[in-house]
Structure 1
Amino acid sequence: MQPAKPPLLRFLLRWLDSNELAWMPPRWWHGTPTEREVWHLRKLARRRIRRELIARQGLARTLTQAAVWPVWALLKTVIHLRQRPLRKPGLGAWALRFLDIYWLQMAYNIGISDQFDGRMELPEFRRLIRLTAVCREHQSLLSSTHLIARGYPNIGGKQVFAKFCLEHGLPTVPVLCAGRGDQLLPGAVDWPPRDVFFKPANMAKGLGMEVFSYDATTGQWRTEAGIIVTPQSLPAYARRKLGQDVEWLLQPRISNSSAWPAYGSGALSTCRIMTGRLGPNETDIVILGAFIRCSLVNPIVDNMSAGGIGIGIDLTQERLTFGLEWVNYDPPLSHIPSTGAAITGTTVPALSEIVNLALRAHRAAGNWSSVGWDLALLEEGPVLIEANLQWAINPFLPFGMSRLPEVLRTCFGPHYERLPS
């Protein structure tokens, strides 16, 4: 057991701790116009992040963290390298890696976790560093577009999204019933004789999801613990599992088309299509990027944070590029490690149909500047799973190589030099 730290030391560690600088460092390079625009957008995001930090923890603490950041970043680099062994052993390799990690923190304000998420130790990713924005900046910029988009239709929640799809004739997974705690909302329909998905309405990353397996011999549904669940007993079960104030819903369990690349554990594999708006017309909706997700271990969800992998899509060739996983931070994958199944060059079936459905959905969604759509290809065709207004950064296409900066410039308009708070 490690000795307890003195109270004063614990206080200082908590008070000074930060993962990145709230200010962007001076731009010491000239770069291309696109690289300079990415840097400008990162500065706008940092300005908003800084205001939020000051509001939450005060100006004194924020300034102190900035003052000690060079030393703090150095300590974090040392601790990180002690905890994570290098692929190439030796003092020289350790020194080079130390300098590299520290340099990226100080010169580009890219924290250690973002460096590893972006695989920036690899040359093919490192050369794009000036076109890269980190996840926190990306999320801050999207949040700013939402302030401008006040009054647009809400499509973020699962129940709201199902209603949105129904109103606009968009194919999606139907909601069998929904509720809050032990209260069942109106509109419930009969359960089909098949497996069904029970899920919290507003939790991400597959948290709280559960499959109720259907037994055809008895006509009953059972939870993963073997408890029999009926339409009448579901509200009470939902309250016990999630609590009284958590919204939930029940949907049929769906499966991928037999034509879809089968890489994983049997969980539904989805395609994330990011779309953006460049103007007021329907023809101004553009694709910002695409990738698919599949689970290698989790039998329910395909989230990369739950052991799944992401696989990039070349939209011009309609083929897969390479895979990335977020457990061991291995180099890009051309094959599935456990099975040897090829990733790179594999054709994506019905991709044009999937993309067109995402574009159609964005046209129906009003003037949202960008949306991350989750879709799945079934035997009957593509369906929408959910809409993400605060969609995660695309790991396969750097920020500045997509049309997202152009979308943000269009959305911000007069706010482009200073974002609204």
Structure 2
Amino acid sequence: MKENLPYWYRPPPSLVWRWVLYAREPDLRCLRRWLFWVWWSKPRTPRQRLGAMWDLMLRPVTRGKAALLTVRTYGGRVRRIHGVGMPRQMLDVLGLVFGAGLDPISYYQYQLFLPSRRVRRRDYLDVSGKLLQVLVQRLPKGPEDGIFTDKAAFAAWCRARGFPVVGDHALVGPVTADPEPGGIPFPAEDLVVKPTNWRAGEGVFFWRCSLQGNEPVWEDGNGGKRLDARALWAHLQQSAVAMRRPLLVQPRLVNHPAIRELGNGCLCSVRVMTVREGRQRPQVIATALRIPMGQCAADNFDRGGLGVGVDPRTGRCGRAVQKTGEYPLPLLECNPHTGIVIEGQVLPHWRATLDLVLTAHERVRSALPIIGWDVAILADGPVLLEANHLPGEHIVQMPSGIPLGATPYPRVLCRALRRAFAESDD
């Protein structure tokens, strides 16, 4: 076994595996074969390989047991709320586990007991991000791949190409020089501070600006600190040391009024997933609106924000779901904190939003075929926030009920994997 290889490194498939993975058209079944190969081909010691073979032999028992425990945990609530009997749930879960390779919990996460979703239950995906991780390791590094992991690099890339993007006030690191004596490093306005390379909304803070006499002061989102400009600069330097990464200081953006009223006043964003195959024009395959909740400044779905399914053709919002909570999660017509109706709202500047991300995907010089774009829709139009090369599946499948397996996603991903390993020099 090679030493010091990245966790997601995989050697090229053997001749037998190439026949399994390449023999059929790239579709959802092909994608699931790739997922099994990724598990099987993980570099292992001989002892670990024996353990993997033992796990494989026991898989019918262990997966059956996991299915039973999952149904026992959540099935009673589904029966009471939705009227779906336990035997039906058990049969459905077993069919997903052994027929589609899904984890048992996916049945409850994606609410596949609902009649509208049950008919396509085997088209949902739950761990295809593993294939994207492997693909990142195999593809040649593009000259602009850094925009996916560095928010400052992404903002600079957008500005260089004339794409609307949030401006930067400062990049504060552990060794960033202090501002000149008497200078104010930030304008007197609300600020958002975020690490340059963390994901899932982690480390995002909101600082509200007010005047104390003639001097601006900033108060953090929890009301725990109240700092003048130089004290805030010092605090951010200390935070950068603690987080071991630079912090990006940006102005607070304000959504279009039709969107702002849906949340808590902090920025809502739209996730648009696009795919591009070869030299073809990119296409949109999934869209969702993310709404921050409570005191959280970030709208991330995994941190308690609402996820709302959005019709890619019209921009019309469906029902919302909050990932945190006990399954089955309720599908919400309104914001549960404010009562504002979400379902049926049509997002403004929708066509301009889609055109922006499609043009951006066309311009980026990267071999990565799938990108999740985060866009803020403001009063005067859309603004790019981030580009994600590992977009999650939950945010686009849980609220909308539209499975990624029913889109071009499996075909594009399988073909990209085939090309990446065919062009490998290993």
Normalised TM-score (structure 1): 0.80
Look up the match of 1:248: 247
* Contact 2:139–2:420 (CA under 8 A) maintained in structure 1: no
Count of residues in Structure 1 that have an aligned counterpart in Structure 2? 384
Look up the match of 1:132: 124
Q: Distance in 1 between matches of 2:321 and 2:379?
A: 27
Runs of 4+ aligned structure 1 residues displaced above 6 Å come to 416-421
- Alpha-carbon distance change, 402 to 244 in structure 1, aligned in 2, over 3 angstroms: closer
- Alignment map for 1:291-302 (pairs within 5 Å): 291-302=288-299
* Contact 1:291–1:310 (CA under 8 A) maintained in structure 2: yes
What's the CA shift string for 1:364-413, capped at 9, x where partnerless? 21243121110001123211111101111231331232222343355345
Runs of 5+ unmatched residues, structure 2: 1-23
Q: Distance in 2 between matches of 1:289 and 1:420?
A: 34
The answer to whether residue 154 in structure 2 is matched with residue 161 in structure 1 is: yes
Look up the match of 1:3: none
- Alpha-carbon distance change, 143 to 176 in structure 1, aligned in 2, over 3 angstroms: farther
- Alignment map for 1:347-386 (pairs within 5 Å): 347-367=346-366, 368-386=368-386
* Contact 1:120–1:126 (CA under 8 A) maintained in structure 2: yes
Give the residue type in structure 2 aligned to 1:306.
Answer: R
* Contact 1:152–1:366 (CA under 8 A) maintained in structure 2: yes
* Contact 2:184–2:229 (CA under 8 A) maintained in structure 1: no
* Contact 1:176–1:250 (CA under 8 A) maintained in structure 2: yes
Look up the match of 2:333: 334
Quote how far apart the aligned CAs of 1:414 are.
Answer: 4.2
Quote how far apart the aligned CAs of 1:269 are.
Answer: 0.6
Q: Distance in 2 between matches of 1:81 and 1:409?
A: 32
Local SS of the residue matching 1:259: helix
What's the CA shift string for 1:34-69, capped at 9, x where partnerless? 9x8211112113212332374799212222222222
- Alpha-carbon distance change, 58 to 231 in structure 1, aligned in 2, over 3 angstroms: farther
Quote how far apart the aligned CAs of 1:235 are.
Answer: 4.7
Give the residue type in structure 1 aligned to 2:273.
Answer: M
- Alpha-carbon distance change, 416 to 345 in structure 1, aligned in 2, over 3 angstroms: farther
Look up the match of 1:74: 64
Look up the match of 1:199: 194
The partner residue of 2:42 within 39, 52, 70 is: 52
Quote how far apart the aligned CAs of 1:293 are.
Answer: 0.8
The answer to whether residue 413 in structure 2 is matched with residue 408 in structure 1 is: yes
Of residues 220-229 and 345-354 in structure 1, the stretch that sits farther from structure 2 once superposed is 220-229
Aligned-pair RMSD on alpha carbons?
3.3
Of residues 117-126 and 236-245 in structure 1, the stretch that sits farther from structure 2 once superposed is 236-245
The answer to whether residue 28 in structure 2 is matched with residue 38 in structure 1 is: yes
Q: Distance in 1 between matches of 2:184 and 2:107?
A: 48
Quote how far apart the aligned CAs of 1:192 are.
Answer: 1.9
Q: Distance in 2 between matches of 1:108 and 1:65?
A: 18
What's the CA shift string for 1:301-336, capped at 9, x where partnerless? 111222222111212233123323212342433343
Give the residue type in structure 1 aligned to 2:208.
Answer: S
Look up the match of 2:173: 180
Look up the match of 2:135: 144
Identity among equivalent positions (%) equals 22
* Contact 1:181–1:235 (CA under 8 A) maintained in structure 2: no
Q: Distance in 1 between matches of 2:423 and 2:52?
A: 20
Look up the match of 1:12: none
Runs of 5+ unmatched residues, structure 1: 1-32
Q: Distance in 1 between matches of 2:46 and 2:404?
A: 28
Normalised TM-score (structure 2): 0.79
* Contact 1:86–1:94 (CA under 8 A) maintained in structure 2: no
Local SS of the residue matching 1:383: strand
